[in-house]
Chains A and B, each alone.
Chain A
Amino acid sequence: MTRERAVGVPGLLWLPAALAAGLLVLPVVALLVRADWRSLPADITTPSALDALWLSLSTSVVATVVCLVLGVPLAVVLARAHGWPADLLRALVTLPLVLPPTVGGIALLYLLGRRGLVGQTLDTWFGISIPFTTTAVVIAQAFVAMPFLVLSVEGALRTAGTRFDVVAASLGAGRWTVLSRITLPLVMPGLVSGTVLSFARALGEFGATALFAGNSPGVTQTMPLAIYSAFNGAGVTQGTAVALSLLLVFAAVAVLLAARAWRPGRAA
């Protein structure tokens, strides 16, 4: 039997590579080891745990839909725009990625809070108050998750270029037809990975939600907040926190695996 021999990896790389893998994987292993598997079924089926799980999943789905509906147009505009205003906007869009989420939460309060820039108007004119509602949870999640979608879709659009769009236009296709039948299908891999990343980010969101939406069970207490509360021993044991954490880990792994299994054009 013959085997192809690649250039290979320098031996010195193995140690840092192993350490990196350990740093990323061992905490989850510790969680698995530490878990009390006998009380696990009971821990994760308590009404408050199920409430938190349902709230997390539903708000994350809605936040992801918001990211898609608003983020894809923004990505298209950014990918096709030139000049310094576009460069500036591109930099600002990535701000939520580098900002601590707690800062994002405070910023959202100053924008949409009862005395906020826009919130005051909403309150006095329409009687709408956003903070500490489920809507606030979705807004906070969309705020931290949208950059992932915009960045990956914009990157895919730039890589794809506009040559296929030019051909499609020469065949008589208007701008909407070109976008829906050529441009977006061509960036589908970027769109899918951006969507998955956004959903995962929304699911794990904590800081901005805590400050902007609060920690009210059934209304704004998503899984990360429930885990934090449980861990700090507010009435429940740390075992519940571990159990809830495991549930979130499994949900995240399931999403990532589902995304990996889907490959465009593989069926062809």
Chain B
Amino acid sequence: MTSLHAEVAVRRGAFALDVTIAAHPGEIVGVLGPNGAGKSTLLAVLAGHLVPSAGVVRVGERTLTAVWDQRVESAVRPEHRSVGLLGQDPLVFPHLSARENVAFGPRATGTSAARARVVADEWLAAVGLAGLADRRPDALSGGQRQRVALARALAAEPAVLLLDEPFAQLDVRTAAELRELVREQVRRTRTATVLVTHDVLDAVTLADRVVVLHDGQVVEQGRPLDVLTDPVHPFTAALAGVNLVVGTLVALPDGSTALAGPDGVVVPCASQRPGGRAQVTFSPSAVTIGDGWSATVVDLEPGTTGVRLRTSGDVLVDLPPAQVAQLGLHVGAQVRLSVPAEHVRVRPLT
């Protein structure tokens, strides 16, 4: 029942990672970001496989990593950090049974064989594998292997649990079950948890807080609901499936204010005064087709409620399939788009 606090700076060639992250006991902090954002580097530092250029990693009262002014003041080895790992590949030891896998942590840290066996069976029961303790990994399904890996990670009683896209290789239903299981076990054991993912579903279903990384920098953080409904960064907007347009506030002929974005995009911003720059966010389903700015259809793909159009200016539009057929939309077609003012969120940029 300890909390994690880490301030990490890594310099590697042109890449710079600067993250401060904290997780309370039983809290799941989601780290979101595109490939190359520095998520894996952050995990490597927390797990002790990489000594950062500068920074500190503290778990409760213990300092696991401390580097100041090029001096490594402490760098606790991975096996002494009490930091558990669960990645997208379960990496269940192939030469050991499910029970021996789960018992490995307790055995390695000095628990007697008999006691470790009991602990392992309890954990296997907790993850719903009570009858399969004697199975070899090759006789288990992918979801069952991931359950073994979760039980094994938690049986070692880590102070901090690192989850690295743990559901990425599972089918939709198994992933949903595993998410529920992870949440339940993390809460029950009150383990401070860091969840690295680029799946928005992981963030909204599991994370208490999210930190969005881009190019090694934290671009936004907060409750998943707040971050995803009102994204500040284009990556977060894309993740949330929300349109984000940056532009200049201008006065329209009718006296109202609108945001003029790239490629002729015009979005009403009634509450703002002309002048200065701002960014607006709106849902793809809020966009109406018929009048407004002129755009070209760049792409058509299946959307959540029908068909999703990507149009010039990077504006996504969700339409019912029947309307797409009726309008005869295709790649390269010209359309006129508008967004009702009540569906637009405006954020002035300074």
Which residues does A use to contact B, with CB under 8 Å? 163-164, 166-175, 177-178, 181-182, 185-186, 188, 264-265, 268
- Note all chain B residues with C-beta closer than 8 A to A265: 94-95, 136, 138
CB distance from B78 to the nearest CB of A (A): 4
A12 to B78, alpha carbons, bound, how many Å? 57
Total A-B residue contacts, Cβ distance less than 8 Å: 65
A174 to B78, alpha carbons, bound, how many Å? 9
Q: Is the CB of B95 within 8 A of A172?
A: no
Q: Which 4 A-B pairs have the closest CB atoms?
A: A173-B108, A171-B105, A169-B78, A172-B109
Q: Which residue of A163, A172, A264, A268 is within 8 Å of B108 (Cβ)?
A: A172
Which chain B residue has the least Cβ–Cβ distance from A162?
Answer: B49
The answer, yes or no, to whether B84 is at the interface (CB within 8 Å) is: yes
- Note all chain B residues with C-beta closer than 8 A to A163: 89, 91
Q: Is the CB of A173 within 8 A of B91?
A: no
- Note all chain B residues with C-beta closer than 8 A to A177: 108
Given the interface contacts A166-B78, A166-B85, A268-B136, does A171 sit within 8 Å of B108 by beta carbon? yes
- Note all chain A residues with C-beta closer than 8 A to B152: 171
Which chain A residue has the least Cβ–Cβ distance from B95?
Answer: A185
List which B51-95 residues lie within 8 A (CB) of chain A: 77-85, 89, 91, 93-95
- Note all chain B residues with C-beta closer than 8 A to A174: 79, 108
CB distance from A165 to the nearest CB of B (A): 10
The answer, yes or no, to whether B156 is at the interface (CB within 8 Å) is: yes
Q: Is the CB of B136 within 8 A of A172?
A: no
Q: Which residue of A166, A171, A264 is within 8 Å of B49 (Cβ)?
A: A166
CB distance from B135 to the nearest CB of A (A): 9
Q: Is the CB of A164 within 8 A of B108?
A: no
A116 to B104, alpha carbons, bound, how many Å? 51
A67 to B109, alpha carbons, bound, how many Å? 32
Q: Is the CB of A172 within 8 A of B93?
A: no
Q: Is the CB of A172 within 8 A of B89?
A: no
- Note all chain B residues with C-beta closer than 8 A to A172: 79-80, 82, 105, 108-109, 156
A84 to B109, alpha carbons, bound, how many Å? 37
CB distance from A25 to the nearest CB of B (A): 36
The answer, yes or no, to whether B6 is at the interface (CB within 8 Å) is: no
- Note all chain A residues with C-beta closer than 8 A to B156: 170-172
